[in-house]
Amino acid sequence: MPVYHLFFSPCSSTYDTTYAFCRAISEHAPIEVNLTDRETKVPEMPEGSVAVVAAPVYGGRIPSVMARKLERAKMKGVKAVTFVVYGGRAYEDALIEINDLCEKAGAEILASAATLAAHVFLPDLERGRPDQKDFEEIRDFGRRVCEKYASGRFTPVTVPGNRPYQEGYKAGFVPETDTALCRRCGVCIAVCPTGAINPKDPSQTDINLCINCMRCAASCQTGAKAVPAKAKAMVTAYLSGFLGKRKADEFYL
Ligand SMILES: Cc1cc2nc3c(=O)[nH]c(=O)nc-3n(C[C@H](O)[C@H](O)[C@H](O)COP(=O)(O)O)c2cc1C
Ligand code: SF4
Ligand code: SF4
């Protein structure tokens, strides 16, 4: 069975987590589809394929741009294993949303997971994750998913979340650019999943398009892009309330 790895992962933890899962279910490398890239769409996949569909959680939902791509997808005859990766606050309606979108596209949900990664805005929250324990659990989940697939008994998968979903994430700031550090290389413009950065001036970002994914900052070689100090202080104060006990990964089969 071909395994497709469909992921949205601006800061790479969703990718790292779910690539490990893909390798646990197949000895072959998966067919990678990086939906973070602006122009990349969900491809047509042959019936009988397994699609590992993975998104980070933004405000308890999946990123709106990933949702739009899944809305246009055709996944008839595909078995989907869905993942949402979150930063230790909560994932609310993200898993039920990604499952609904895959099912509307024609896929059957084989299994689902909500797993932890360090929070992009406060890396002390779930610092170091995904770690060795996460990867062991992900490999074990892979074994159980393979058993389910081989058994041919595709029992329905029920995941937490509510319908209607809570309101989607809206950017409250845009990354700021230190113009003294910026070399105008254009990398941030090219990697932005929504085309929010002005192609003529990388220091200008459209707040109505920006989804705060921070791919621009993660990709900038000179460290010129960052969360503005005021927004950082507010987000840190809010998220600090969630520091503490390690949250457990959740697996649904
Ligand atoms: C815009 C934005 C919103 C986020 N919202 C949530 C959230 O609602 N709950 C949570 O636990 N983590 C939240 N996070 C943290 C991410 O889900 C987490 O850091 C994830 O690992 C990022 O994935 P990536 O490394 O693949 O980009 C948010 C991060 C960003 C950038
Ligand atoms: S990636 Fe960094 S250096 Fe390059 S244009 Fe963007 S902000 Fe400037
Ligand atoms: S400008 Fe906004 S949407 Fe574009 S990469 Fe940066 S944070 Fe993401």
26-49: per-residue pLDDT in tens? 999 999 999 999 999 999 999 999
Distance 231 CA to ligand 2 centre (A): 21
Average of pLDDT values for 155-160? Answer: 97
Distance 12 CA to ligand 3 centre (A): 14
Which atom of ligand 1 has the smallest separation from the CA of 14? 26
Question: Region 161-171: what's the mean pLDDT?
Answer: 97
Running DSSP on this structure, what letter comes out for residue 108? E
For residue 179, the CA-to-ligand 3 centroid distance in Å is 17
pLDDT band at 162 (very low <50, low <70, confident <90, very high): very high
Digit-coded pLDDT (tens) for 93-147 = 999 999 999 999 999 999 999 999 999 999 999 999 999 999 999 999 999 999 9
What separation in Å is there between the alpha carbon of 57 and the centre of ligand 1?
A: 5
For residue 34, give the 3-state DSSP assignment.
Answer: strand
* CA distance readout (Å), 20 to 79, 124, 161, 215: 18, 23, 25, 21
Domains 3-164+246-252 and 176-226 share a fold: no
> What are the residue boundaries of the structural domains of the chain, listed by start?
3-164+246-252, 176-226
176-226 architecture in CATH?
2-Layer Sandwich (3.30)
The answer to whether residue 18 scores a pLDDT higher than 80 is yes
Choose one of 206, 212, 219 to mutate for the ligand 3 pocket test, by most ligand atoms within 8 angstroms of C-beta. 212
User: Mutual orientation of helices 94-104 and 64-71 as an angle, nearest 10°?
Assistant: 20
Domain 3-164+246-252: CATH superfamily is: Flavodoxin domain (3.40.50.360)
How much distance in Å is there from the Cα of 35 to the middle of ligand 2?
A: 22
pLDDT digits (tens, 9 = 90+) for 52-89: 999 999 999 999 999 999 999 999 999 999 999 999 99
For 181-221, how does the pLDDT look when each residue is reduced to its tens digit (9 = 90+)?
999 999 999 999 999 999 999 999 999 999 999 999 999 99
Q: In the predicted model, is pLDDT for residue 1 greater than 90?
A: no
Residue whose CB lies within 8 A of the most ligand 3 atoms, among 9, 173, 205, 225, for a mutation test: 205
Alpha carbon 46 to chain centroid distance?
24
14 alpha carbon to ligand 1 midpoint, in Å? 9
Between CA 20 and CA 175 the distance in angstroms is 30
Q: How far is CA 70 from the centre of its chain?
A: 13
Give the residue, by CA position, lying nearest to ligand 1 atom 8: 59
Average pLDDT of every residue of the chain:
97
Q: In this structure, what token pair is assigned to residue 65?
A: 């741009």
Pocket test for ligand 3, best of 9, 210, 235 (most atoms within 8 A of CB): 210
